[in-house]
Amino acid sequence: MRVLIIGGTGMIGINTALHLQSQGHEVHLAARTATAPEHPAAQFPVLTGDFTTGDFSRDDLTPFEAIVFAAGNDPRHMPADADAEAFYRKTQSDGVPAFASLARDAGVERFVQVGSYYHHLRPDLAEHSTYIRARQLADDRTRALSRDGFCAITLNPPSIVGAVPGLPAARYRMLADWGRGLHPDIPSAAPPGGTNYMSVRSLAEAIASALEQGEAGKAYLIGDKNLSYRAFFQMFFDVAGSRVEVETQDREHPLLPDPFIIQGRGNTLAYEPDAGLSYTRNDVRRAVAEVVAMSGAAAEETV
């Protein structure tokens, strides 16, 4: 299958590209900027453009049998001075279904959108969050485009653990370095509550499964391991070989600020994923170990 991955140079995109390539698919990437020669994405053909500004034409998409949309914007991507409503309309609620509609008109047969678990698990959260409401609308409106010859599917995953191969993500590198004892100023504590976690490898496998067997118009709640924040933080110390015991403290944590705990500090988002797609389970600890090892190698290179 010839597949185009929107957001192909990000953590989810490149890991998905590598997995799909290993399965025999012909993979192309789309990204807003050119790829550096040393980036893992450099081995793939890359279309440069921004889906939110109409950079892609129907002719650009016609060669592809399937599109994986992994370019969802969240609060980390919003400029400090941006209007939230306008930003999320452009990048989520209006922008994603408009791009999916263009793909449908171009003759693309399968469209897999990587969404988010918040609205799927707790629809009430959309009533109070512009971001979650936009995610919900992007999900619903994109799947509603399904018809004969066009299968639109959404995967709604939880927090994803992983990195671009060879390039640890800043957030997880900080957690890994903390577990390795490089940030003694940060308390060995975690806020109360917890959530579900999933490795980027498992997510890539779920995306491949959705391309092959996902049902048109369906949203899948996917995930792996329910963990307290304390247990998740503890993994970084454990795999680093530290004897530190993480405590639970009911206060804001510098590595997990309250604005990033969408359900509210002290609350837990736990669930069992939907059936129907195939991917590896119990993979979170392996992913944490991989991130810690990658972080250590990166630190040695900078010495």
Q: Indicate which CATH number applies to the domain containing 204.
A: 3.40.50.720
Residue 253 main-chain phi, psi, to 5 deg: -110, 135
Q: What is the pLDDT of residue 35?
A: 81
With H, G, I as helix, E, B as strand and everything else as coil, classify residue 150: strand
DSSP state of 229: H
Residues 152, 265 within the same domain: no
Structural domains in the chain (count): 2
CA atoms within 13 A on the CB side of 279: 35
Distance, CA of 35 to CA of 73 (rounded, Å): 20
| Buried-state track 187-212, b at ≥16 Cβ within 10 A, e below 16 | ebbbbbbbbbbbbbbbbbbbbbbbbe
85 and 36, same domain (yes or no): yes
Helix (H) or strand (E) holding 68: strand 66-69
Closest CA to 226 of 158, 124, 289, 161: 158
Model pTM above 0.85: yes
Q: Are residues 7 and 133 in the same domain?
A: yes
Q: Are residues 106 and 134 in the same domain?
A: yes
The structure tokens listed for 13 are: 């995109």
The encoded tokens of residue 177 equal: 């370095």
My answer on whether 253 and 116 are in the same domain is no
Looking at residue 168, what is its pLDDT? 60
Q: Is the Cβ–Cβ distance between 23 and 208 less than 8 Å?
A: yes
- What are the per-10-residue average pLDDT scores of the chain (303 residues)? 95 96 97 85 93 95 98 78 87 96 98 97 93 96 98 97 79 91 95 98 98 97 98 97 97 94 95 96 96 74 43
Nearest-angstrom CA–CA distance, 141 and 215:
16
Whether 88 and 212 map to the same domain: the answer is: yes
Are 28 and 47 a contacting pair, CB within 8 Å? yes
Q: Are 115 and 156 in contact (CB under 8 A)?
A: yes
pLDDT given at position 303: 38
Q: What is the pLDDT of residue 76?
A: 76
Shared domain for 173 and 147, answered yes or no, is: no
Residues 107 and 191 in one domain: no
- Residue 199 near residue 160 (C-beta atoms within 8 A): yes
Question: 105 with 70, same domain?
Answer: yes
Same domain, 219 and 235: no
> Is 122 in the same domain as 142?
yes
Query: CA-based Rg of the chain, rounded to a whole angstrom?
Result: 19
For 65, the domain range is 2-160+197-223
Residues 123 and 6 in one domain: yes
